[in-house]
Structure 1
């Protein structure tokens, strides 16, 4: 957009919502710069970053002095302010409400359960040196299984994407979460052909931006599986 400075995104690509924001910026060719914030080094706790986001979390978007701190809000803001294709966050109320319906459900379901599997299988043992707790991992996998059932039967049903026949913010947020357990070599969709086909469609729609953002996940997977 003429006259606008590039937006600045504060991201840690180990974070699923951060990857979603980066993919959206790249895929839609929105002028941007990235400030990398390494959570593992505590960079979100510096006085400078805390001033920007008192919650000390990423992602954060800065757009001409306007600061936004939640991935869902960031993506919807970008889709509204920048001239991106309508399918991302449709203007038609019924179609937009479908995206909102998924994103309202996402945080306590897809995000929570995928993240919990990652915590128990990768973060605690690999990065914090704590042994995996098999019972907790089994519970996390069981919870995630229930979420995957809902993704298949309630959202995806017989359509190509979660909210209709074209990709939306819902698919972007969901796919980044469902990729996270791959860090340990665990493909949580391997026995779910319907969701595997959906993921391929999403990857196809996102082209290079998908693999670029997930390079860190692939590196972790290779490192983790090499130890087995």
Structure 2
């Protein structure tokens, strides 16, 4: 938009939601700068960052003095405030409600269970705190979520909410890539979800692999 400064995104690309925000910015050619915040170095707990986001979490978006936290809100704001294709966050109420339905479910299902697998398979073992029983429980919980993705959201359509990519697919795919850090492809025995992931990647072109480069490099 004329006279509008580039938005500033505060990101750590180890974070699934941060990757989703970066991909959306790049894929839609929204002018932006990235401020890298290293969570493992505690940079999200500095006085400067806490002033920006008292929650001490990423991602954070700053747009001409307007500061927004939470990836779901950030993505919906960008889709609404900038001239992006309607399929991302459709204007028709029923289509938009389908995206909202998934994103409301996402945080305590896809995101929570993926984060638990990442914690118990990748982070805690590197701290000398492996817990095989908790990892098995996390994987079992995640299986239930993957079943829902296949049997509910992808039951009759190519993408989670319609026959075109939306914010729901972007949030979900960044989550489902996370276990690759520990060398696990959680979709390898799920052809329906593998096909979906391929469609999402094809829709996103280079921005997908650029954002996930850190995941590929961490893979063991």
Question: Could you tell me the TM-score, scaled by structure 2's length?
Answer: 0.99
Structure-1 residue corresponding to 2:79:
79
In the alignment, does 2:37 pair up with 1:37? yes
Tell me which residue corresponds to 1:208. Answer: 206
Question: Is there any run of 5+ residues in structure 2 with no aligned partner, and where?
Answer: none
TM-score (structure 1 length as normaliser): 0.96
Residue 190 (structure 2) aligns with:
192
Please, what is the CA RMSD of the aligned residues?
0.6
Distance 1:182 1:158 in 2: 28
Partners of 1:193 and 1:121 lie apart in 2 by 23
Deviation at 1:158, TM superposition (A): 2.4
SS in 2 for 1:217: helix
Q: For 1:158, what is the secondary structure of its paired residue? A: coil
1:8 matches 2:25? no
Task: Measure the CA separation in 2 of the matches of 1:54 and 1:29.
Answer: 29
1:71-115 C-alpha deviation (Å, 9 max, x unpaired): 000000000000000000000000000000000000000000011
CA distance in 2, matches of 1:209, 1:183: 19
Instruction: List gaps (5 residues or longer) in structure 1.
Output: none
Match of 2:17 in 1: 17
CA distance in 2, matches of 1:145, 1:46: 37
SS at match of 1:212: helix
